[in-house]
Amino acid sequence: MNMPGADSGPAPRLGIAENDPVRRRIERLMPGLADAIAPRARRFASRSARPRREIVHEGDMPSGLWVLRSGWAAHVRHFADGRRQIQHLLLPGDPLPLDRGGPYPATIMALNAATVIDLDGLWLGEPAGLDEMVRRHGRESIRYLLGAIARLGRQSAIERFAHLLLELRDRLLAIGLASTTRFDLPLTQEMLADTLGLTSVHVNRTLQAMRQQGLIELAGRKVTLLRAEELAGLADYTSPMVPAQDIG
């Protein structure tokens, strides 16, 4: 696995606690698998990546089953003139590969300080469970990518923001990192622009408009959805997630 942005020195082996986002994500993708691969005594190989550095490069073949344990990452496309598109955001618990039998279809970049762990290993009695987990993750990713196509192709700037914020709220809620109205958004305006197909100036204006309309509240990295139902109507958004416990 290509890790040009990895920190130097040996990385510690990390476990998965009961409420770890990785465990929650595994359980949603493949109920029962988390208990098989995440006993408290188990420690997994880990690697770290600095912000804005590649974790894997497009065309690399998967080696092991690396999962994002902390931080945010993204599938990205870089253009010859320096432009960048963030095609899909990866959150804690998300597997990196979409297909263990084929190359990575896009470069994956750490958006902030990130850690990945390898769930694979000879100790696992039923590797088919991990393969099925990756397949289900791939199907979910396709759904999110189709949503992104609709956002970019047909929605206004404010509709794009509403749709993205609701999608992130649901995905973070499912892994215990959000409430129904509040979550951390560790993305710069430049990253949001690359995700939503806007300029940084347009991002700033749209966020200010949403605040003035009483739709959202921003405090540092924390976003509060003040009128989530109205945002859903504005973005024509229907949650694909099974309701998870609200952590407040």
Q: How far apart are the first and last CA of the chain?
A: 37
Domain range annotation of the chain: 21-143, 157-235
pLDDT classification of 9: cutoffs 50, 70, 90: very low
pLDDT classification of 40: cutoffs 50, 70, 90: low
The mean pLDDT value for 196-225 works out to: 96
Using a 10 angstrom Cβ sphere, with 0-12 exposed, 13-18 middle and 19 or more buried, the burial of residue 126 is exposed
The mean pLDDT value for 20-38 works out to: 89
With vertex at residue 23, the alpha carbon angle to CA 15 and CA 141, rounded to the nearest 5 degrees, is 125
Instruction: Give the pLDDT score at 248.
Output: 38
pLDDT at 235 over 60: yes
Alpha helix segments (H runs only) across 44-156: 127-154
More confident residue, 63 or 112: 112
**What size, in residues, is the chain?**
248
CATH topology of domain 157-235: Arc Repressor Mutant, subunit A (1.10.10)
pLDDT at 127 over 80: no
Q: Are 73 and 90 in contact (CB under 8 A)?
A: yes
CATH topology of domain 21-143: Jelly Rolls (2.60.120)
Two tokens, residue 207: 């966020």
Residue percentage of the chain with pLDDT more than 70: 89
Domains 21-143 and 157-235 in one fold: no
Q: CB under 8 Å to 74, separation ≥6 — which residues?
A: 86, 87, 88, 89, 90, 108, 109, 111, 191, 195
Strand partners, 216: 225
Residue percentage of the chain with pLDDT more than 90: 75
Q: Which residues of 69-82 are buried (b: 16+ CB within 10 A; e: fewer)?
A: bbbbbbbbeeeeee
CA pair distance 77, 99, nearest whole angstrom: 19
CA pair distance 190, 196, nearest whole angstrom: 10
Instruction: Give the pLDDT score at 129.
Output: 85
pLDDT per residue over 171-201, tens digit each? 999 999 999 999 999 999 999 999 999 999 9
- SS3 at position 223: strand
CB atoms within 10 A of CB 98: 20
More confident residue, 156 or 130: 156
User: Which of the residue ranges 4-8, 39-43, 159-163, 225-229 would you say has the lowest mean pLDDT?
Assistant: 4-8
